[in-house]
Amino acid sequence: MSLQELATKFTEVKSKMMAEGQEALKTEFQKVFEAYPKITVIKWNQYTPYFNDGDTCEFGVGSFVISNALNAEEVSSYGEYEGETEGEWAEELWGDTAKEYPLIRDLENFCNTGIGKEILLMTFEDHSIVTATCEGFDIEEYEHE
């Protein structure tokens, strides 16, 4: 096999895995939205730090933020609801909140394993804010220091 053939094959396999990764993640997130109908948004950031005080910079996945907001754009990836609709909220998934939503906690835990991180990196790329809703995913660039 030539290097060009290898590169072509690699690109094909990567494209296939990206599509399959997004489809599998969509299925898992759909289960979560069906199990918890009041949750409308799950958002997180994922990135590799540019500098880590001399240590190796490694790709990471931030804490999941959950929300009941009707407009996903009003939810930050830091757990803040930025809208003005009474009764809508957003918060990071930890503590008692994580206990209340075990399926979301389990999905977040998977996404923070070695293979989970690889899937998220390949599917949504580095330096991204990912927003999951029952309609699918929205990816935007994440700017950080």
- pTM comes to 0.89
Tens of pLDDT along 53-87? 778 889 999 999 999 999 999 999 999 999 999 99
Overall number of domains in the chain: 1
Tens of pLDDT along 93-131? 999 999 999 999 999 999 999 999 999 999 999 999 999
Please say whether the beta carbons of 101 and 92 come within 8 A: no
Range of the domain at 32: 3-141
Give DSSP secondary structure letters for 78-97.
Answer: TS-B-S--TT--EEES-HHH
Q: How far apart are the first and last CA of the chain?
A: 42
Residue type, 144: H
Cα 79 from Cα 91, distance rounded (Å): 4
Alpha helices, H only, the chain:
3-35, 95-100, 102-111, 114-124
